[in-house]
Amino acid sequence: MTYNRSRRLFLGRTLAASAVGATGILTSSGLAMANQAAVEKLYYGPKPGIAKLNANENPFGPSPDAIKAMAEAVSSGGAYYAYPAAVKLLDMLGEYYGLERENIALSAGSSPILSFAAMAATTKGTILGPDLFWDTTSKLPIKSGGPEIKRVPNTADLGIDLDALYDAIDDKVGMVQICNPNNPTGRIVDPVKLKEFCIKASKKTLVLVDEAYNELVDDPVKNSMVPLIKEGHNVIVARTFSKIYGLAGLRVGYMLGSAENIEWINRYGLGGYTINQAGLAAAIASFNDKAFMNFSRDKIAEAKGIIYDAVKANGLTALPSSTNFVFVNLGKTGDANAFRKAMEKENILIRGQYRTYKPWSRVSAGKIEDVKRYAAAMPKALEAMEKMA
Ligand SMILES: Cc1ncc(COP(=O)(O)O)c(C=O)c1O
């Protein structure tokens, strides 16, 4: 089966022709400040000419089955609240993981439910995490007077230092959060060590493992901490349909945990009210679609190969990645923000600097033609970066 773009026109999407000029990054939190030129180039997906490699989406999605299911669900169900479809997805997930409905919370992508967990946890103490992890939702409580995140340095190779994290758990910690594989590094933690850590740490505090990229790793089942929930450990796990399933714009994610933890976290927001018929139909149609997932994995591996070749050809290095993005070290004088700006001039969108990690630049393994453009633009962008420095 082929998954070409034309099949996606099933939903009647029309694409504007032009894609010239600068483009910005749109985030849901900054919608009011969005740059209009960026909106025109990115609404309903990037317009031709824009290489969108900045948010770790899977551009090969939605799968053909998901598109068909959405069209049907929207025409027959768009007028109605989506509660029954949500229950259908809960049961599907419950059956797969061997858990009950009360062990699962759904929301529009995993961000809302991760935010609720952050709000709940910070009523008890700080969130503890590595220096580098996907901390967007963990920073949320700070805005309403909650505690700062307590951070533990990463190892020299930007891995997660589990021993240091464990040692940093004290009675002021309300939750320890690990993203595995990690964003933005792409690195994965040894599953045996992570399991040991989760069991030990969860005796002291709640442990959250964000497994947004789990389905992209070589052995997703071996690398998941979900079984610890059934064994009764104080562990919660977040998952999403935004990554391998290619449904980032359809917004479906979920959290798994003990009935008590899920009920407690659900007190901080109505996740169930944030989901919609189209997203649920797509998620239900995609969850067991092995053919589409394998297809996506192959494309991601191909795209990562192109990125690694370009990195090497330009005398740079990058971290090994278990995800659909690569964390590139731009070298001693590297400047991820300047590099991002230089790439943006070529209509190639990548991520800028993370925290104090100035030379580290993240690029997503997107469409093959877009990643090839990134590779081709690299020498010129590096030169422009050096001039900006
Ligand atoms: C590690 C991680 N967790 C969670 C999310 C949130 O994604 P979503 O709200 O689409 O599930 C992201 C998004 O990039 C992510 O990288």
Identify the CATH number of the domain in which residue 365 sits: 3.90.1150.10
The predicted pLDDT at position 331 comes to 96
**271 plus 338 within the same structural domain:** no
The predicted pLDDT at position 59 comes to 98
Last residue in a domain, options 241, 260, 286 = 286
Please tell me the total count of domains within the chain: 2
Whole-number Å distance, alpha carbon 145 to ligand 1 midpoint, is: 24
User: Which atom of ligand 1 is nearest the CA belonging to 253?
Assistant: 11
Instruction: Decide: residue 118, CB within 10 A, 0-12 exposed, 13-18 middle, 19+ buried.
Output: buried
Whole-number Å distance, alpha carbon 57 to ligand 1 midpoint, is: 10
**235 plus 318 within the same structural domain:** no
Instruction: Report the C-alpha gap between 315 and 365 in whole angstroms.
Output: 20
User: Which atom of ligand 1 is nearest the CA belonging to 242?
Assistant: 10
**249 plus 376 within the same structural domain:** no
Please indicate whether residue 253, judged by its CB atom, sits closer than 6 Å to ligand 1.
yes
CA 202-206-208 angle, 5° bins: 100
Task: Please identify every stretch of the chain with a pLDDT value under 70, giving residue numbers as ranges.
Answer: 1-30
Residue nearest to atom 2 of ligand 1 (CA): 212
Whole-number Å distance, alpha carbon 167 to ligand 1 midpoint, is: 27
**104 plus 242 within the same structural domain:** yes
User: Which tokens is 346 given?
Assistant: 């070529």
The predicted pLDDT at position 28 comes to 61
Whole-number Å distance, alpha carbon 315 to ligand 1 midpoint, is: 31
**201 plus 279 within the same structural domain:** yes
Whole-number Å distance, alpha carbon 353 to ligand 1 midpoint, is: 18
The predicted pLDDT at position 364 comes to 98
- Domain extent, residue 146, equals 65-286
Please indicate whether residue 183, judged by its CB atom, sits closer than 6 Å to ligand 1.
yes
**317 plus 219 within the same structural domain:** no
Of 180, 210, 225, 252, best ligand 1 pocket probe by most atoms within 8 Å of the beta carbon: 210
Whole-number Å distance, alpha carbon 73 to ligand 1 midpoint, is: 25
Whole-number Å distance, alpha carbon 110 to ligand 1 midpoint, is: 6
Last residue in a domain, options 237, 264, 286 = 286
**121 plus 38 within the same structural domain:** no
**CATH code, domain carrying 116:** 3.40.640.10
User: Which atom of ligand 1 is nearest the CA belonging to 241?
Assistant: 11
Last residue in a domain, options 254, 286, 318 = 286
Amino acid at 320: P
User: Which atom of ligand 1 is nearest the CA belonging to 248?
Assistant: 10
Please indicate whether residue 132, judged by its CB atom, sits closer than 6 Å to ligand 1.
no
Whole-number Å distance, alpha carbon 111 to ligand 1 midpoint, is: 6
Q: Report the DSSP beta bridge partners of residue 328.
A: 318, 361
Residues near 185 by Cβ (< 8 Å), separated by ≥ 6? 132, 154, 158, 159, 319, 327
The predicted pLDDT at position 15 comes to 29
CB 132 within 8 A of CB 182: yes
**221 plus 300 within the same structural domain:** no
Please indicate whether residue 138, judged by its CB atom, sits closer than 6 Å to ligand 1.
no
203-260 pLDDT per residue, tens: 999 999 999 999 999 999 999 999 999 999 999 999 999 999 999 999 999 999 999 9
User: Which atom of ligand 1 is nearest the CA belonging to 114?
Assistant: 4
**167 plus 142 within the same structural domain:** yes
**297 plus 282 within the same structural domain:** no
Whole-number Å distance, alpha carbon 212 to ligand 1 midpoint, is: 6
Residue whose C-alpha is closest to residue 204's, from 256, 161, 166, 150:
166
Instruction: Report the C-alpha gap between 60 and 215 in whole angstroms.
Output: 15
Please indicate whether residue 274, judged by its CB atom, sits closer than 6 Å to ligand 1.
no
Of 26, 133, 134, 256, best ligand 1 pocket probe by most atoms within 8 Å of the beta carbon: 134
**94 plus 154 within the same structural domain:** yes
**Tokens 């580290």 appear where?**
360
**308 plus 187 within the same structural domain:** no
